[in-house]
Every structure is written in C-alpha cells, then in structure tokens.
Structure 1
C-alpha cells in the first residue's frame, strides 16, 4: 500500500526541499507545489510534494498514521486510537470539508 506522508520542510531551493519525517530527512521534489520555506508542511507521495498542508492537518494525519502503526505492531490502546481518530469518533453526521462537494467547472 502506498500512502502520502506529511513532512516538515527543513530547507529548500527552487525545485526541492529537505523534509523531515520523524528522525529521517529526505530530499523532496517541489515542482508541483512551488518553493517551500523551513517550517512549512508538505504532503509527500513517492518523493514529490503533492500539496502544502496546514500544521494542524499535518499533525492530525501524523497522529492517525502513528495509531495505525501501533495497531500493526500490536501496541495500540483504545485511548490512543480514540485520540488519533477523534475527528471520526466525534462524528456529527456531517461530511468533513474535504469530502463536501465543491464548485464545479462549466
């Protein structure tokens, strides 16, 4: 399974950025997203930045990925899973913004 990972920019140039994923640092292509500055968050898929992210969204996604990892290695707790997926467990019956229909082109 391939998934995109939120990564934080450490340094950058015109076409790439050095990004941190936990203790690991990798060079990421930023041609699709434009120049990023240190501290910015990028959603990275297979070595390329797909889109910039707000820090809150990046941290929420990292928490969810961490929770999934703990499930896979057998160390998950109910409290940890509930905390990582609080946006889902507190479901209000309304779609999250990213799933709501947006303006359609003509």
Structure 2
C-alpha cells in the first residue's frame, strides 16, 4: 500500500532541478517537485514515493496528518475512543448515506 505523506517544503534545490527538501511526520526528504512546479519554503505538498503529487493547504495537511495518526494507532492495537475523525467509515453509514456515496438512489 502506498500512502501520501503531508510534508512542508523547507528548502528549494537548484541541483537536481525540480527538487526541494521537505519535512513531515518526523523525517526530511529530498522530493521531486516536477508535478507541482516550483515550491517555496512553507508550502505543503502530498508526497508519494519521494515525489510531490499535490499542493495542500495547511488545514488539509493537518487533516491528513491526524488521519495517519489514527491509522498508526489502530495498527499498534490501541483502542480508538473519543476520536473526532473528519469522516465516517462506510461501515457506520446508513443505507441512504451508502447510496449517496456510491452514486445510487436509496
């Protein structure tokens, strides 16, 4: 499974062209910015396999980070109580919500 990581650009790089240093989730990486264009320090991007695929607002980056924290906690066997996720899993949806999600009529 490939997951995108929200990362903040910390430094532009001239060599190699189309790259920048980014930091997120406790690590720094040299990321390819060819798909999103030149990025300035402080901008947020979604990184897959060391390649920035999408520009993010700081709010969206925080949402993705919080979701990844929930996934990490669940994978470590922590019981997830009192979580205020910004989404509802399909298993918790009623028939009308599932129909809307899949583009069908209830």
CA shift for structure 1 position 86: 2.9
Give the count of matched residue pairs.
94
Query: Contact 2:5 / 2:25 at 8 angstroms: preserved in 1?
Result: no
- CA distance in structure 1 between the aligned counterparts of 2:27 and 2:68, rounded to whole angstroms: 16
Give the TM-score of the pair, scaled to structure 1. 0.75
Query: Contact 1:12 / 1:36 at 8 angstroms: preserved in 2?
Result: yes
Do structure 1's residue 44 and structure 2's residue 47 form an aligned pair?
Answer: yes
Render the CA deviation track for 1:6-45: whole Å, top value 9, x for unaligned: 1111111351111112321000000111111111100111
For 1:3-82, what aligned pairs fall within 5 Å after superposition?
3-13=3-13, 14-79=17-82, 82=83
Query: Contact 2:6 / 2:61 at 8 angstroms: preserved in 1?
Result: yes
What secondary structure does 2:88 align onto? helix
Structure possessing the higher radius of gyration over alpha carbons:
2
Query: Contact 1:33 / 1:49 at 8 angstroms: preserved in 2?
Result: yes
